[in-house]
A and B are shown apart, each in its own frame.
Chain A
Amino acid sequence: MHHPHPPRVYAGAQELHDEVRTFLDERFPGAVLSSQVDYDFPAFVLQKARTVEVLAALKSDASMGYGFLTTLCGLHFPDHTGAEFGLMYQLHNLPANKRIRIKTFMAAGDIEMPTVTTLWPTANWMERETFDFYGFRFTGHPDLRRILNMDEMTYHPLRKEYALEDAGRHDKEDKYFGR
């Protein structure tokens, strides 16, 4: 496929990545599994067990100062055996205007995660939404109930096994579209 302007790494993102990576490698050796720059965002994949302590340090450490939780959401990759589910946290250092993304992955049988509501009260509804749609159990969450779907629902609809189309319909199958 032809692209007039190839995707790029934005100015300053690589420096920000290196700065945070150095901090994490010094303070939490081995916690960072991988990291890269996606466009304007440095993204770090962390060990699940250490994610929350790293988030706490990124928030409280004076040299980091990521005090604002922009958003968090769930991810589901059924093909990644042993790391099917993921969580994405997006942090913002407002005074310095620096943004980073933290991700962590976990196996389908082990989707318990300590809550970050103790760090950011705003995570309350975000975690409820993530629980509602993916089923993550946020331990220590003050009020882990469904939020957008009805309480009687028995499944977590954003998981990939729930196809959007009616399973009885065959006229929209990919083969009819040459895909």
Chain B
Amino acid sequence: MATPTHIGQAIAPTAQAIQDKDYNILNLGPTHPATHGIFQNILKMDGEIIRHADPTIGYIHRAFEKLAERRPYAQITPITDRLNYCSSPINNMGWHMTVEKLIGCEVPKRAQYMRVIIMELARIADHIVCDTVIAVDTGAMTGFLYLFQWREKIYEIYEEICGARLTTNIGRIGGMERDFSETAWRKLKAFMQEFPKALEEFDKLVTRNRIFVDRTVGTGPISAARALEYGFTGPNLRAAGVDYDVRVMNPYSSYEDFQFSIPIGTSGDTYDRYMVRMAEMWESYRIIEQAIAKMPDGAFHADVPEFYLPPKEQVYSEMEALIYHFKIVMGETDVPKGEVYHCVEGGNGELGFYLVSDGGRTPYRLHFRRPCFIYYQAYPEMITNGMLSDAILTMSSMNVIAGELDA
């Protein structure tokens, strides 16, 4: 077996294994603990070096695009929860905004700021998962266990806002379901006070750690040009050096009101992907800070009675409210005809919703542009001629989420 001069570098085939038949076949997954999800890769191994990889996906395919064609608009939000389930609120908001674009609904500023806070919390939670898991895959369990507590605190904030933790179904078409409660504000402020210290400690524990740096620098790299050809978006594209971020390019939900920068890397390797996500957590923190400071007064939802459930007291006492309640719950609200595409910056990149409406109660066609699905196809190219242990790191640093991959 060839001895790698530097971990992460491509290694030429050994003389013995040039013939295809000399390779060992290794079945990595679908339920290997190191893949953090249901992914299968059939690898051709030359010693510890991967010469060919063939991914099989679809293990948790749930036919969301087909399901959406039968469901009224409000009932599609829980489907979006289950795409990238590490940052469900971003998916929920993206879907609400798609429908709002179709029906021409302007959401009040307060609701937009509330959404920004929730989406940035979700981004932090998403990046906590990814970055701590990269550390776990290099052998550093401590940071993962330590920082995951703060993901838990974010889930407690979600719980105060919408009652759910993982599959959130947060917000409504037209705004938010309710204003932040006293407890939600208290928990949010406590998080804002305590989180920087925790993230700094994690940063000190991992970022300059000799083992971590040796394992991640140069591992699973992709060039900016190749990443663009493969349709990369989000942190993985930015790690390769392209500063594309939907929040800046096509601002939605008042992102143009906030000051933040877009961190980028240079080499598109595992270390850069890790660093971009670390820096993005700080930027998300800054955005939440500004949103709390500038939180406008006013309504937390738009006046769209056909889509937004009336308060329960009115349903029991007023005819009109009862009718709207019934129509929304039974999914009897028609929407305009048209075609809409709306995208948001999800945890993994541009999450798009392409919606074709024929004017009926359900979408005629709904297509999800899932960033994971699109960039995971570059995975074989990124791990070929590298070590098997590097392939594990490359996968966790790309943050491939099975729910989003398979839809």
Q: Which residues of A contact B (CB under 8 A)?
A: 1-8, 38-41, 43, 67-71, 73, 75-76, 88, 90, 94, 97, 99, 101, 120-122, 124-126, 129, 133, 147-150, 157-158, 162, 164-165, 177, 179
Q: Write out, one digit per residue, whether chain B residues 346-373 have a CB within 8 A of any chain A CB (1) or not (0).
A: 0000101010100001000101010001
From DSSP, what is the main secondary structure of chain A's interface residues?
loop
Interface size on B, residues (CB 8 A): 50
The closest CB in chain B to the CB of A126 belongs to: B374
Q: Which of B242, B249, B374 touches A97 (beta carbons < 8 Å)?
A: B249
Q: A126 to B65, alpha carbons, bound, how many Å? A: 14
The verdict on B377 contacting chain A, using a C-beta distance below 8 Å, is yes
| Complex contacts, B66 vs chain A, CB 8 Å | 157-158, 162, 164
Q: Which of A43, A120, A125 touches B229 (beta carbons < 8 Å)?
A: A120
**B230, B231, B407: most-surrounded residue (chain A CB, <10 A):** B231
B340 touches A38 (CB 8 A): yes
| Complex contacts, B65 vs chain A, CB 8 Å | 133, 158
How distant is A178 from chain B, measured CB to nearest CB, in Å?
8
Q: A8 to B250, alpha carbons, bound, how many Å? A: 17
The closest CB in chain A to the CB of B367 belongs to: A73
How distant is A51 from chain B, measured CB to nearest CB, in Å?
18
A6 touches B104 (CB 8 A): yes
Q: A173 to B293, alpha carbons, bound, how many Å? A: 51
| Complex contacts, B102 vs chain A, CB 8 Å | 7, 39
Q: Which residues of B contact A (CB under 8 A)?
A: 57-58, 61, 63, 65-67, 69-70, 101-106, 228-231, 242, 244, 249-250, 302-304, 306, 330, 332, 334, 336, 338-341, 343, 350, 352, 354, 356, 361, 365, 367, 369, 373-374, 376-377, 406-407
The 8 closest A-B pairs by CB, nearest first: A122-B231, A148-B58, A73-B367, A71-B369, A5-B104, A148-B61, A7-B104, A125-B377
The closest CB in chain B to the CB of A103 belongs to: B339
| Complex contacts, A40 vs chain B, CB 8 Å | 101, 341
A121 touches B230 (CB 8 A): yes
B354 touches A71 (CB 8 A): yes
Q: A67 to B365, alpha carbons, bound, how many Å? A: 26
| Complex contacts, B231 vs chain A, CB 8 Å | 68-70, 120, 122
How distant is A106 from chain B, measured CB to nearest CB, in Å?
16
How distant is B107 from chain A, measured CB to nearest CB, in Å?
11
B61 touches A94 (CB 8 A): no
| Complex contacts, B229 vs chain A, CB 8 Å | 120-122
B336 touches A3 (CB 8 A): yes
How distant is B386 from chain A, measured CB to nearest CB, in Å?
20
